[in-house]
Amino acid sequence: MSSRDSIIQSLSEDLQPVANSVAVDSKAMLWFVLTAFYVVLVTQWLAPIRADAFNQLVTVPRFFIESLLGLMAIVMLTLAAFRAAVPGRLTTRFAISGLALLALWLGNYVYGLIDPTLEPSMAGKREQCWLQTATMTLPPIIAAVLLTRRLYPLSPLRTVFLFSLAAGMIPALYMQIACMYIPEHILGHHILPGLVVGVLGCALSLFYRR
């Protein structure tokens, strides 16, 4: 018997049924909703949000579109991250679309340095908002790894990077409502901590079994 036949024989002997553990899109959306809920709760608990933020969402279309763009980018990143944990599920096109949407959203704040969406104001200033953004991301990243570690990501680093990015951007997005609106502040104290955590979270790729 050739070594290939031996391997096939041993793999198929005493074959145990396995529970199909996919439905990754459902898991992704569950994770996203729970993470968003957690971020809102923790943010509200730490300090009140900016008083006129929701009013601005309704009365300033550009602010609404900007926030919606961020939301769409994060949802796509979340889907991409969970799909990356299953072989062949994530297409390059989808991954690039998600990242492009993210770049578009973030680019909007860079453009806001010369033409801000809202009148820059210190109203709603939160102490150490950057720390709040960074630390809020850890539990969702860990939860994402735990939810997917029994799947089979072919590139654990890519999978965790996408999770970490999504987890970092959710509080970054909500800070646009919770904290003051000044583009320089947004980029440095909301977005940047989220991106940094996105990179640091990659260390958790070690926890994927092989």
**If binding is defined by CB under 8 A, does position 18 make contact with another protein?**
yes
Distance between start and end Cα atoms, the chain = 28
Contact 50, 179 (CB under 8 A): yes
Q: Check residue 21 for interaction with another protein (CB under 8 A).
A: yes
In the complex, least distance from residue 72 CB atom to another protein, rounded to whole angstroms: 24
Under the binding rule (CB under 8 A), the answer on residue 9 touching another protein is yes
C-alpha separations of 40 from 43, 181, 195 in Å: 5, 17, 19
What SS3 state is found at 153? coil
The answer to whether residue 8 forms part of the interface with another protein (CB under 8 A) is: yes
* Residue of the chain from 19, 114, 115, 127 that contacts another protein (CB under 8 A): 19
Residue 30 makes contact with another protein by CB under 8 A? no
Restricting to residues 173-202, which ones interact with another protein according to CB under 8 A?
A: none
Over its C-alpha atoms, the chain yields an Rg (Å, rounded) of 20
Q: Is 100 in the site for another protein (CB under 8 A)?
A: no
* Residue 1 binds to another protein (criterion: CB under 8 A): no
Question: Within 10 Å of residue 194's Cβ, how many Cβ atoms?
Answer: 25
By CB under 8 A, what part of segment 64-93 binds another protein? 85-89, 91-93
Report residue 20 as tokens.
């199909």
Q: What residues contact residue 3 under an 8 Å CB cut-off, 6+ apart?
A: none
Residues forming the site for another protein (CB under 8 A): 3-4, 7-9, 11-23, 85-89, 91-93, 150-152, 154-155
